[in-house]
Structure 1
Amino acid sequence: MLGHRAVLPTVLLTLLVGAGVLMGTAAAQSQVTLTVTVVDQDGDPLSGIDISATWDDGAGGPSNETTRANGQALIDVPEGADIMLQIDDDEYVRNTPYVVEDAESESVEMTVSEAATATVSAVTADGQPAENARIRLYRDGSYVVDRNAGSDGTITTQPVEEGEYSVIVTKPGFYRNLTKVEVSDETTTTVEIREGSVLLQATVVDEHFNDSRPIRDATVRVESDSGFDGTVPTLSDGTASVSVPVNDRYDLTVTKEGYETAERRVRVAEDETSIDVDIRRTPEITLTPDNRQVVVDANVRFTVTDEYDEPVANATVSRNGTEVGQTDADGEVTATVPAAGNVTFTATAGDLTTTTNVTAFRPGEETTNGAATTPEQTETETTDGSGPGFTVALTMAALLVATALAHRRR
């Protein structure tokens, strides 16, 4: 038994050592060699160029080598990885890294160019520096330089490849300028940009309805980070137009009494720009009784409507804090008024609440308008508006007629 226990650690150690050997062998097998040849724009090999290889988005490596007299360098990298090759040299440069996808033992040729710099100055039409202008150099499908100029409107690039570049200068309020520039050694160039404006039109509508309804007399405020600020009302067709500087971003704020505030962000380039803004009425509910003055214990039908005067179903209605029911599909509910005086009814739908009062009275008691009601008055009132006063008038007229007839007989 003891012998078996003594053998077990030895077996485990042997397995671990064997696994380590296998892992080391696997690791060695996963390496491949890239034969990298660095050439100039004429295809001639360059010696003494430092190459750095990284992988896994820069997390792996670097593996560094220097080209020999034949312009070649041998670089060991992980098999199947995407390898990014970059150079570090005072005389030569490459704008973008050279990428080897799914690496295997292979030969690649990497072209580099003599280094140059460009100093670009942006000025306005009156020759003043275009402060904080954005200056970009574009070549071979990508932006090589993208920087904002300072107060002097000027940038100087890092070393870039010699050759032709598209220089693009933009600034809020100014038209975009695209200029072709040949960059070599230490190139300097000046680019002029001109101010301009275009029309920005906002159309304000309420899309609650099947056919969107334009909103008149809404206030549209237009602001930009560069300092523009303008306010204009909407017309009967819901439109509001304002002239704004070109090539800028604007914040639109639309307000109108009874409506929720709407905010939009819009980019304006160099053409007329339109934007649609949907605003909705401020959410609210209204509780309306079919009669505001009733006899005690009478039933009152209440209707709950929303901000669009549409019925609100399942709204909870309470009387003096006690729930009396929920509205039906038509937004209606019926409740009694059991006590005399002002009785408060409350409707709640979600986060919205509203109240209303109903006055109840007993026959013979004074109502809110100061008039007294008696059982006799209630019985003698007719639907055409006649009442006790009309009966007295008929009686007086009859007495006058009788008196006149009596005098004639004498």
Structure 2
Amino acid sequence: MLTPSIPFPLPAETVLPDYGAGGIFGFARGLRNWLHDRDAAWPAGGVPSSSGTLVVVLVIDGLGDRFLCSEGVGSALHSARQGALTSVCPSTTASAVTTLLTGVAPAEHGLNGWFIHDRRFGGVIAPLPLVRRDGEAVEAFHLLPRLCPVPPMFFHACRPVNLISPVEIAGSRFTRHHARGAHVEPYDGLADLGAAIVDMADALAGSGGLIHAYYPGFDAVSHVYGCRSPEALAEFWRVDAMYSALVRSLSGRGVHLVATADHGFIDAPPERCIDIAPEGSLAQMLAAPLFGERRLAFCCVREGAWGEFEAWAAEALAGRAVAVRAADFLAVGLLGPGRAHPRLAERAGSHVLLMEPGWTIVDHVSGERVHDMVGVHGGLSADEMLVPLITTYC
């Protein structure tokens, strides 16, 4: 658990990331240990140390615990819920999914947001699709090993691993890098996901091992329409139907089916978006575009402009965000434990903007594809930070 006193204000109703047994970090670290030690158990998943055990981990991108406990009452997923875990900080896919693939915290794997800052690769880049903010592809010698030096948890595992990934990203450079040691099986659509899990369970019936499956559809719908929109609710119930069918198909096989998520969601109305004008005085204080998230933004303030920036934040962001010096942010461990990524200080910038509930901040880069989002995440609110732990023994 993150325990030190926090020497700076935090947004209202903050939930701090738990980097012990109560978070997805501990969940992933325990899974990594189970994969590399045939005598190990995995308490978070209810998995014993038996060498022939078959485990299915289903990561439902964007499924928050508060959503499940309100909108999902009566669902199969809710009925199998064992409790809540915290996400990592920031509560976003790039940070949390990488933790779930490596078993280390963002401080160590270095992906502290959808956008990160790394001068070696052109400044502000999106590490999952590997593009810069202006849309240009990132190309460099030994790009992934330098960008993400931490090996995936599947690498040199003593148990077989099958990674089931959407066809759109199964062959991506990010997936290939983080799937080392696993067999990658692409799928196309929710029905195909369930069928792929059952097929892989058949293939591993004799040996046991891990099936790691990822589903991004609920996240995508929540971004576009809002996290409690009719479209998001319909998508949730589709996922729940797939889960119910999966439980029936795996029944009697002795499979440990474990589901969780990377983060939850909130909705952010456009009138609560702080939009930084490209030619305005604030933009002139910044040495690079914003990185991180709309709900937790890292800033690279020009040398000599720190006092001016902090004065602006105290006045303009009152009740909207908390501005923290990055050194203080890193010192209290909000990005987690472990050996710090060699570029972590650069990737944290000079200041961090922790947005209050419902508030976002955006800036603009020439050539960037703009995504209007109703549902957002990345912040420290309970809706974003809490994800469910769901287990079913089939």
* TM-score bracket for this pair, using the shorter chain length: under 0.3
Q: Normalization by structure 1: what TM-score?
A: 0.18
Structure with greater helix share of residues: 2
Larger radius of gyration: 1
Q: Normalization by structure 2: what TM-score?
A: 0.19
Ranked by relative contact order (alpha carbons within 8 Å, sequence separation 6 or more), the top structure is: 2
